[in-house]
Chain A
Amino acid sequence: MRNAFVAEITTLAAKDERIVLLSGDIGNRLFDEYKERFPARFYNCGVAEANMMSLAAGMALCGLRPITYTITPFVTTRCLEQIRLDVCYHNVPVIIVGTGAGLSYASLNASHHSCEDIAFLRMLPNMAVVCPGDACEVRLALRAAVEYNGPVYIRLGKKGEPVVHLQAPQFTIGKGIIIQDGLDVCLLSTGNLLPTAVQAADELRQRGISACVVSFHTVKPLDEAILSDVFARFKVVATVEEHSVLGGLGGSVAEWLADRSFLRSHLLRVGTPDAFIYEAGEQNYFREKFGLTAVMIAEKVQQTYQVNTPR
């Protein structure tokens, strides 16, 4: 995802002079080509994210399209007030790009974990929260964000994730993408767990359960049309995300559902627990631990489906 981000932003900057890339002292060598081609439109803002964010808002007030980039917690919660007041209150088109969604940097300890960022940012009025599911969606999300007339948060994984889309789908901020339709259950996935959600659907098929998979890349604004459709059609709708079960996609859908009556449908939130991590380990170790592998997700969905389906 990271490499797709850099490639796409370099392509976009060639076409759009409003684009300015602001980095929080990260991406060693990553931006070499960009810097060489657009030296006046790259600023290493140092380890000073609050300044970077307000500075971006100032640029956007003048018609530019600044992109702030660093590791997810530092470009979100570290400078949340700057995002809230300077970016969102002024409602200016700053594109905030965080790399290291969820447990991508699990081994680096809680300072680099990012399982609350969606919750924090989606609370802010005017903010769009976009979590691409693979490298293809990263490129499309960036293109859409540059044209979007307001703040956008783009939540990247790391590098080398599997690609789900073999062809570029239609991509609109606020509109989910149906990866495959199904008959029994529905998986709404946001962000870097999309490849796992697709595998979970395969696993469910082997267990005799047909699963619809949606790349619900935009957590805000919520795609209410898709939600209305899937809650009307499926007995189990599961949200799948590498983010806390509080406040992310699962939280958003639960809030949406609370004001509506879908009596035959059950919401299952799959995500990370409401807890910090106090041990070492890589992303896959913690995915296993928190039940975020394809098999474990399929197992949970199957159980919920069976409980809600009288034999």
Chain B
Amino acid sequence: MFMDSDGFLITEMESIARRTRGKLVEMSHVARTPHLGSSLSCVDILVAAYWGFLKTDPQNPGDPNRDRLILSKGHAATSLYVTLAYRGFFSLELLETYAQSGARLAEHPIYGSVPGVEVTSGSLGHGLSLGLGIALAGRLQGYGYRVFVVMSDGECNEGSVWEAAQFAPIHHLDNIAVIVDYNKWQATGRSNEVMALSPLKQKWEAFGWSTHEMDGHDLSSLVEVLRNVPDGTGKPVAVVAHTVKGKGISFMEDDNNWHYRFPNADEVQKAKWELGLL
């Protein structure tokens, strides 16, 4: 539960999340790039991270003791770029170059392209294992940092996710947390119809993780749980964050056409109006 000062912060974060969504819609329109629905669904997770629970300093992005956030669902790159830019990791102008020929910001994040992008992602099922390596290195080198890995529900189809899920608990890696952006869709179908994903929380629990289930758009719940990693159980933490694909824009919400579609100029205006940005 939040004190008054935190209450103020949450309001501020909500406003940042709204502006982030507006920017995502605009970028998808200008660059004519897909994955808008997937990007919108994890906005609150990333805002909660960069303004709420990550110990990281935009002025010192190479600090060896920084908390790491790995966007394993690399197709939501715009979400990461906008939060990083708004948080001060790089200039807002750079966002205008997104997906242009020769630009640093590609449709999936590239390691080393801009401060704050910790790894290259795009092929699903890699981020958690990379995160485990970083978490183990932190332990071996005596750092206190934590690693947060944002995954998609479709990504849980990948066998390597469950290889990683078996590794972490046996080595008591409690400085890592997985946040599954559970928006109930993958590229071409319902994520519970394509593969037997459900019950997702119980799966992580059965693999030995300290698990939580929450509304993935509830900033205070996300911050409250994830700021407390390690959580004292000695286990890695898994958060099944229930989200809505296309969240925040009524005509995109839970409509999987927006996995690949990009909005036209009218739709951008409509979206911004709904977000209170006009």
Q: Closest A-chain residue to B136, C-beta based?
A: A59
Decide if A251 is an interface residue (CB 8 Å cutoff).
no
User: B251 at interface (Cβ–Cβ under 8 A)?
Assistant: no
Majority SS at the chain A contact face: helix
Given A57-B130, A63-B141, A90-B111, are A50 and B136 neighbors across the interface (CB < 8 Å)?
no
Min CB distance B198 to A, Å, is 23
B160, CB-defined interface residue at 8 Å: yes
CA A50 – CA B131 in complex, angstroms?
A: 13
Does A62 lie within 8 Å of B160, measured CB to CB? Answer: no
Complex interface bits, A53-83 against B, C-beta within 8 A gives 1, otherwise 0: 1111111111110100000000000000110
Instruction: Tell me whether B243 is interfacial, beta carbon within 8 Å.
Output: no
CB-CB nearest in chain B for A81 = B123
- Contact-residue bracket for chain A: 20 to 34
| Residues on A with beta carbons closer than 8 Å to the beta carbon of B140 | 20, 40-41, 64
B164 lies within 8 A of A58 (CB):
no
Least Cβ distance of A138 to chain B in Å?
Answer: 25
Chain A residues positioned under 8 Å from B131 (CB to CB): 58
Binary CB contact string for chain B from 123 to 150 against chain A (1 if under 8 A, 0 otherwise): 1011001111111111011000000000
Which residues of A have CB within 8 Å of B137?
58-59, 61-64
CA distance A53 to B164 in the complex (A): 11
Q: Which B residues are in CB contact (< 8 Å) with A62?
A: 64, 133-134, 137-138, 141
Interface string of A78-117 (1 = CB under 8 A from B): 0001100110011000000000000000000000000000
Judge whether B205 is part of the interface by a CB distance below 8 angstroms.
no
Q: Are A58 and B132 in contact, CB atoms less than 8 angstroms apart?
A: yes
Set B130, B136, B138, B141: member contacting A86, Cβ < 8 A: B130
Within 8 A of B (CB), among A26-65: 40-41, 43, 45-46, 48, 50-51, 53-64
A51 lies within 8 A of B111 (CB): no
Q: A57-B130, A63-B137 are in contact. Are A46 and B123 (CB under 8 A)?
A: no
Q: In the complex, what distance in Å separates the CA atom of A46 from the CA atom of B141?
A: 23
> Are A55 and B141 neighbours in the complex by a CB distance under 8 Å?
no
Chain A residue nearest in CB terms to B132: A55
A60–B123 Cα gap in the complex (Å)? 20
Q: Which residues of A are found within 8 Å of B135, using beta-carbon distances?
A: 58
Q: A59 vs B173: C-alpha distance in the bound complex, in angstroms?
A: 14
Question: Known interface pairs A63-B141, A66-B133, A90-B120. Does A54 touch B126 (Cβ–Cβ under 8 Å)?
Answer: yes
**Contacting pair A85 B126 (CB below 8 A):** yes
> Across the interface, which residues of B come within 8 angstroms of A58, CB to CB?
119, 129-137
A54 touches B159 (CB 8 A): no
Main secondary structure, interface of B, reads helix
Contact pick for A51, options B64, B120, B167, CB 8 Å = B167
- Check A89/B111 contact, CB under 8 A, given A41-B140, A50-B160, A63-B141: yes
Q: Are A55 and B130 in contact (CB under 8 A)?
A: yes
Also in contact, A51 and B160, with CB within 8 A (given A43-B171, A81-B123, A90-B111): yes
Tell whether B163 is near chain A: CB-to-CB under 8 Å: yes
Chain B's nearest CB lies how many Å from the CB of A43? Answer: 7
CA distance A20 to B167 in the complex (A): 16
Neighbouring A residues of B130 by C-beta, 8 Å: 54-55, 57-58, 61, 86
Residue of chain B at shortest CB distance from A55: B133
B166 at the binding interface (Cβ < 8 Å): yes
Contact of A48 among B122, B126, B166, B171 (CB under 8 A): B166
Assembly CA distance A46 to B168 (angstroms): 12
CB distance from B2 to the nearest CB of A (A): 33
Greatest chain A CB density within 10 A among B126, B129, B134, B164 is at B129
Closest A residue, CB atoms, query B137: A62
Q: Is the CB of B166 within 8 A of A59?
A: no
Q: Is the CB of A54 within 8 A of B160?
A: yes
Residue from A51, A56, A81 whose CB has the most chain B CB atoms within 10 Å? A51
Query: Which residues of B have CB within 8 Å of A89?
Result: 111, 120
Closest to A49 in B: B163
Give chain A residues whose Cβ lies under 8 Å from the Cβ of B164. Answer: 48, 51, 54-55
| Chain B residues whose C-beta falls within 8 Å of the C-beta of A53 in the assembled complex | 129
Pair B120/A54 contact, Cβ less than 8 Å: no
A178 to chain B, nearest CB (A): 39
Q: Which of A57, A61, A62, A63: most chain B Cβ within 10 A?
A: A62
A99 CB to nearest B CB, Å: 21
Contacts of A85 in B (CB 8 A): 120, 122-123, 126
Considering the complex, give the chain B residue whose CB is closest to the CB of A40. Answer: B140
CB closest chain-A residue, reference B159: A50
CA distance A50 to B162 in the complex (A): 10
Complex-state Cα separation, A46 to B166, whole angstroms? 9
**Cα A238 to Cα B64 with chains together (Å):** 50
Counting from the closest, the 7 A-B pairs by CB-CB distance are: A58-B133, A54-B129, A62-B137, A48-B163, A51-B163, A55-B133, A50-B160
6 contacts between A and B (CB under 8 A): A50-B159, A55-B133, A56-B133, A58-B135, A58-B137, A61-B119
Give chain A's interface residues, CB within 8 Å of chain B: 20, 40-41, 43, 45-46, 48, 50-51, 53-64, 66, 81-82, 85-86, 89-90
Given A54-B129, A58-B136, A86-B129, 7 more A-B residue pairs with CB atoms under 8 Å apart are A48-B160, A50-B163, A55-B164, A58-B134, A62-B133, A62-B138, A85-B120
